[in-house]
Amino acid sequence: MKNRITVIGAGGHAKVIISLLRLKGLEIDKILDDNPALYGTRLDGSIISGPVDTENIATSGIIAIGNNLARFRVSERLEAVNYGSFQHPTAFVDDSVEIGDGTIVMAGAVVQTGSKIGDHVIINSGAVVEHDCFVDDYCHVGPNATLAGGVAVKSGVFVGAGTTVIEGVSIGTWTKIGAGACVVNHLPAHCTAVGVPAKPIKFQYE
């Protein structure tokens, strides 16, 4: 059973994760989702069933949901699951890097020396996490985003595709940064920031 894994979530992000898992030689045990309309249908050849419940997971699991808050809520429901962490064969992750449970490092991503990545994090395709960065739980570093050295990204942060965060900057919890932004100053928690340089345009609390 150790080479089988349950995928939790049946959207587009799940398709990418399934591809990664198969490249790693793993077999998909099942795909779980809470949408009954999907039950009995297939995603990349594997049957979707449900609901998302610990009793339906007899193997290791991975939460294949791109939305940070949704991923957090599912993990809270499934605390007893044994979560694996996986790196695409084309990703580079330095041997010194600490990576938490349930974290995915996608194709072409780079995570450099001294960095620490938390639980249930997505380092998406082509993203760069430079030396000595800290990326906390439930974050998503989008495709081709770059965190320069010593960046601290607090829990639940979304870094949009193509965003650049300069060295030493801190980003507060559950903040969202729009695609293509350039973050040159610290950002507070629970805001949406966009632009060059990135500035908060609204705050949200959930």
Structural domain that includes position 141: 86-195
105-135 tens-digit pLDDT: 999 999 999 999 999 999 999 999 999 999 9
- The yes-or-no verdict on residue 206 having pLDDT over 60 is no
Single-letter code of the amino acid located at 159: V
Enter the DSSP assignment of 83.
Answer: B
DSSP-derived 3-state class of residue 120 = coil
**1 confidence band (pLDDT: 50, 70, 90):** very low
Phi then psi dihedrals of residue 22, to 5 deg: -70, -35
- What is the total count of domains within the chain? 2
Cβ-contact 110, 91 below 8 angstroms = yes
Is residue 204 in a domain? no
- The yes-or-no verdict on residue 74 having pLDDT over 80 is yes
CATH number at residue 36: 3.40.50.20
d(CA 34, CA 139): 22
Is 186 noted as a catalytic residue in this protein? no
Same domain as 68, residue 116: no
Cβ-contact 131, 148 below 8 angstroms = no
Query: What is the predicted pLDDT for the residue at 57?
Result: 87
Query: What is the predicted pLDDT for the residue at 2?
Result: 58
Residue in 88, 131, 140, 186 annotated catalytic: 131
The structure tokens listed for 106 are 């996608």
Cβ-contact 70, 87 below 8 angstroms = no
DSSP-derived 3-state class of residue 164 = strand
* Average pLDDT score, the chain: 95
- Per-residue pLDDT, averaged over 143-163, amounts to 98
131-146 tens-digit pLDDT: 999 999 999 999 999 9
CATH number at residue 151: 2.160.10.10
Same domain as 183, residue 126: yes
Phi then psi dihedrals of residue 91, to 5 deg: -80, 150
Same domain as 186, residue 155: yes
Write down the pTM of the prediction.
Answer: 0.94
Query: What is the predicted pLDDT for the residue at 79?
Result: 85
